[in-house]
Amino acid sequence: MYDLFSNLAMGFGVVFQLAPVDLGFAIVPIPMNVVYCLLGALVGTLIGVLPGVGSVATIAMLLPITFGLPPTGALIMLAGIYYGAQYGGSTTSILVNIPGEATSVVTTLDGHQMARQGRAGPALSIAAIGSFAAGCFATILVAALGAPLTAMALKFGPAEYFSLMVLGLIFAVVLAAGSLVKAIAMILAGLMMSMVGSDLESGVGRMTFGLAEFADGIGFVVVAMGVFGFAEIVRNLEATAESRDILHAKITGLMPTKADLKASAPAIIRGTLLGSIIGILPGAGAVIASFAAYTLEKRVSKHPERFGKGAIEGVAGPESANNAAAQTSFIPLLTLGIPPNAVMALMVGAMTIHGIVPGPQVMTKAPDLFWGMIASMWVGNLMLIVINLPLVGIWVWLLRVPYRLLYTSILVFCAIGIFSINNSSFDVVLAAGFGVFGYWLIKHSFEPAPMLLGFVLGPLMEENLRRAMLIARGDVSVFFTRPISGGLLLLSAVLLILAALPALRKKRAVLVED
């Protein structure tokens, strides 16, 4: 317990550290990390508000912007974008009935109904309060679980790492929308494509088609930007001009009533707990958390018929859950070095660009970065609640930017972003190719998220598989006889079988599609 607080204190020390900044007329000490955190949270809210701009594409787009920053500042900012997006998404869901993010789709159900009944204010503030409460809890959870999980991770050998990644990928399969087999196919496609480039051991170029540009492999930003950024744009262009019935009524009375608070407090607690657990699980993330929380609220409610007609629990539960999950999904990344979802996969890339190898050694080698990032999450959440409610008007006004101007601007930004990572024109064209591939995937109802996860985990998996096999002198049974590794594989198998069982398959379909 004492350790926890001293570590958190160190983290807050890092966040509030003053750095001398030359403002032109004077050198002023400014807590730069707070500034980065604020910037990240604001950008995150912005993209959360704008429909059709997801957090994966934005973080990929903004990676080059963080090149010039110190690593801690860069990661604080990127993390801020992710959880900021969870706040922003709820705003538009409630006011305009357009979910800005996939994570706030369920919030439209009851949130927008509340707004129609003239209770937009309480809906917005409950969403913010719920998110904040969840954020506080998740921050402490990340801090508390960080040290023990890291200690456990240090005992992991290559076989355990491999099995853990298998488990992560199986989670991604089980929780993906649609068909199980298709999700597995997507993961394998990602794994295979990640093998392009030089072999780590022998240095030979693999599957490069003789192109020098492939020698370093395919950049994950290229894939992410293609299948998430460009493909999304193309898909959105297909939809005819959507009518955005912006709520013109003035938002009066932000404060929820006592009855509102009483009704939503247990929902916030349930949502936070559920979201925290789902966030830690590899392969899941905030989308599933919000859907699960809504289902749970409906299940435990004494009046389930109120849901969909403006029940405040239907806002409080999912909004707390998605924010909690967004934050706890940092746990596997920071302690084990394994990204549990597409956004965290991008964070791996960001860390690598800044020369940090994600994994258990981050906590011991760069404690200021580790704890600084965790503390920044709490600071960011506090800033979000203070900033966002007064700024609601601005966010709604931003929604009037027509998509025809938005997508062209996003394309230019993406192109510059991809280009600046390696100064490579080839990467830009390749991303366009992946955009077409992503569009094809959507048309054939394949999920791109498991593919990106497979793509990121591929090299790690190969390395650990190779090492494990070498140590065991070619004996495959090592994965099953070592207790931790065997347990993880057993768990993966059980999960896969459970998900394939007809009874559960139906439930999963309901949960995912609802």
Partner 1 sequence: MSDTTQPASRQRKLTTGHHTLDWWAAGTPLLLALFAAESARHFDPASGIGIFQWVLCAALAGLAVVIIALRVDVTNHRDYYGGLALIGLALLGLWAGSDLAGMRGFSFGAGTAPRLFACGLAITAAIVTVTGLVTEGEPLGKYAVRGPFFVCLGVTAFALLIRGVVFDWNGATIKFPAFGLVIASLATFLISAFASRETRWVESIITSVGLTAFCWFLFVWMLGLPFQIWPTFLLAR
Do 431 and 421 touch, CB atoms closer than 8 A?
no
Indicate the residue among 142 and 428 with the shorter CB distance to partner 1: 428
- Minimum Å gap between C-beta 140 and partner 1 is 30
- Minimum Å gap between C-beta 148 and partner 1 is 32
Do 431 and 230 touch, CB atoms closer than 8 A?
yes
Q: For residue 441, give Cα distances in angstroms to 178, 183, 254, 449, 513.
A: 13, 11, 43, 11, 18
- Minimum Å gap between C-beta 429 and partner 1 is 5
Indicate the residue among 360 and 435 with the shorter CB distance to partner 1: 435
- Minimum Å gap between C-beta 465 and partner 1 is 7
Indicate the residue among 14 and 457 with the shorter CB distance to partner 1: 457
Indicate the residue among 234 and 269 with the shorter CB distance to partner 1: 234
Residues near 365 by beta carbon (within 8 Å), at least 6 away in sequence:
none
Token duo for residue 70: 């110190």
Q: Please, how many CA atoms are within 13 Å of residue 51, restricted to the half-sphere of its CB?
A: 24
Q: Please, how many CA atoms are within 13 Å of residue 212, restricted to the half-sphere of its CB?
A: 2
Count of other CB atoms within 10 angstroms of residue 195: 15
Listed in sequence order, the DSSP H helices in 472-501 are 478-481, 483-500
- Minimum Å gap between C-beta 195 and partner 1 is 4
DSSP 373-416: HHHHHHHHHHHHHHHHHHHHHHHHHHTTS-HHHHHHHHHHHHHH
Indicate the residue among 208 and 301 with the shorter CB distance to partner 1: 208
d(CA 299, CA 285): 21
Whose tokens are 């002198």? That residue is: 473
Indicate the residue among 244 and 466 with the shorter CB distance to partner 1: 466
- Minimum Å gap between C-beta 234 and partner 1 is 5
Do 331 and 149 touch, CB atoms closer than 8 A?
yes
Indicate the residue among 8 and 165 with the shorter CB distance to partner 1: 165
